[in-house]
A = this chain, B = another copy of it.
């Protein structure tokens, strides 16, 4: 396996060019009016000391478990801002004692059995791309040790059913491997979260991942035909069905369970034919309320655009699309079956009626160039750029939520304003919070906010934490959700998920967990605190 970067995004050889790195430094100096910007050096694994592993590997698991130094570093954190910040600063107080790389469902079962018998916590790591503290191994002293379970050796497509357009796939497969293998069969899952390169199918299911597309089939929730999950009390395998009315859906309990109920080992997944017809256009608006209204009307017309992504003027500019004077709505239709021009024409008619201005693109591959092409590139490169900011101590992060259309405009304006005020109070500097819509629904929208806040390498973790708790509170108190597709993990609980979730539902979820994970070894502190769990995560301290 290629070696991953323990202190950042991607593989060790995926680094920014020196020019890219310097240009970010220049932008930081400019943004915050600094004469000089200090940079923390890239850390070296061999210079970081870790506490000794508290348990020895039993002989039956010698092929599964490892206490390798780099693996333990790599599995201490996910990829959130404080995860990368702590890694760059060499702060690793609670690494996993062991890392598991199961190659089969049997090995997952054996590992869970051993952990359960020995009161060892197990953190399902998936591909490790969590940006909400979902895979952090800081679980306190209630456990004898901690195992991080990396699923990436379970990466095979086991069966393909072309007629139903579905496949049975091991949960540890990474996005690119999945798509490459499906391509041979002219099929695609067509699920492209920003973490695509470094996240797994099982991780997507466990976190209710949202794809790059804006409407209809984009959430992993809708692609799941069945799941197989290993729990400390046995395997739960649901039946493969296109639809069913037999009781509450077993899959819908696993989808979003974030590793607290079990380890997803495989899934039958719905696929699609590869799109060959594409029609797209970028629309500019001077007025944000009108832009939002156009987006709403298009979302309610049952046209189902692949993209219907509204970037506010600042967000467009920061992504290299526009000069900051116009809001940008990227509309894109795709089909494997038929020409989508009539669909696009109708969407543009709606956009025009709300004051949208556009020129129909002349080239065929418009979706890969122009405004929408610029957007695509910066979307994929964003996680790499962030590393450079973090090395300069600048807090660059996002928060995302959803709301119904009736509250849409006020909600977005209020969230921007309140987040800016909070950041000003915390950092004593002005900042601009920008917004794009990642997903739209007939009844609402999912806004995604980006900010950049001044801090130094010494203060950045505390500053980030204060801002995170503030934005959690803002999303939830304004009637949104604390997360639309990033998941809850540990970071979104304080002033967020814990307030938003119905109390009776928490009781049911806890009771269900206690039944199948009686020793509470699975991902303690994520979503809920299991019975008797006394550890306070650093977000709560």
Binding site for B on A (CB under 8 A): 161, 163-166, 207-210, 219, 225, 229, 231, 233-250, 252-258, 261, 270, 272-273, 296, 300-304, 335-338, 342, 346, 402-406, 408, 439, 441-446, 479-488, 492, 497, 500-505, 507-512, 514-516, 527
Give the distance in Å from the alpha carbon of A502 to the alpha carbon of B257 in the complex. 17
Contact of A404 among B164, B236, B247, B338 (CB under 8 A): B164
Whole-angstrom distance from the CB of A223 to the nearest CB of chain B?
Answer: 10
CB distance from A241 to the nearest CB of B (A): 5
Give the 9 A-B residue pairs with the shortest CB-CB distance, closest first.
A242-B444, A236-B504, A508-B512, A252-B252, A511-B515, A208-B245, A242-B441, A164-B404, A250-B505
Q: How far is the CB of A50 from chain B (nearest CB, A)?
A: 32
B243, A163: Cβ atoms closer than 8 Å:
no
Residues of B within 8 A of A236 (CB): 502-505
**Taking the full assembly, how many copies of this chain does it contain?**
2
Are A248 and B256 in touch, CB under 8 angstroms?
Answer: yes
B243→A488 contact, CB < 8 A: no
Which of B255, B481, B514 is the one whose CB lies under 8 Å from A241? Answer: B481
Q: Which one, B270, B300, B488, contacts A273 given CB within 8 A?
A: B300
Q: Which of B248, B445, B511 contacts A252 (CB 8 A)?
A: B248
- Most B C-beta atoms less than 10 A away, residue of A252, A404, A510: A404
How near does chain B come to A473, taking the closest CB pair, in angstroms?
Answer: 14
- Which of B239, B244, B509, B514 is within 8 Å of A248, CB to CB? B509
A244 touches which one: B240, B302, B406, B481 (CB < 8 A)?
B481
Chain B neighbourhood of A249, CB < 8 A: 252, 255-256
Q: How far is the CB of A45 from chain B (nearest CB, A)?
A: 33
Question: What are the residues of chain B within 8 A of A442 when measuring CB–CB?
Answer: 165, 242, 270, 272
**Contact yes or no, A346 B337, CB < 8 A:** yes
Q: Are B504 and A302 in contact (CB under 8 A)?
A: no
**Can you list 27 A-B pairs, Cβ within 8 angstroms, ordered by A?**
A163-B405, A164-B406, A165-B443, A238-B505, A241-B402, A241-B444, A242-B443, A242-B446, A243-B439, A243-B484, A244-B481, A244-B483, A246-B482, A246-B497, A247-B501, A248-B253, A261-B508, A270-B442, A270-B443, A272-B442, A300-B337, A301-B335, A301-B337, A302-B336, A337-B346, A511-B515, A512-B512
* Contact of A504 with B241 in the complex, beta carbons under 8 Å: no
Partner pick for A342 among B336, B342, B508, B515, CB 8 A cutoff? B342
Contacts of A244 in B (CB 8 A): 208, 402, 481, 483-484
Q: How far is the CA of A255 from the CA of B404 in the complex (A)?
A: 21
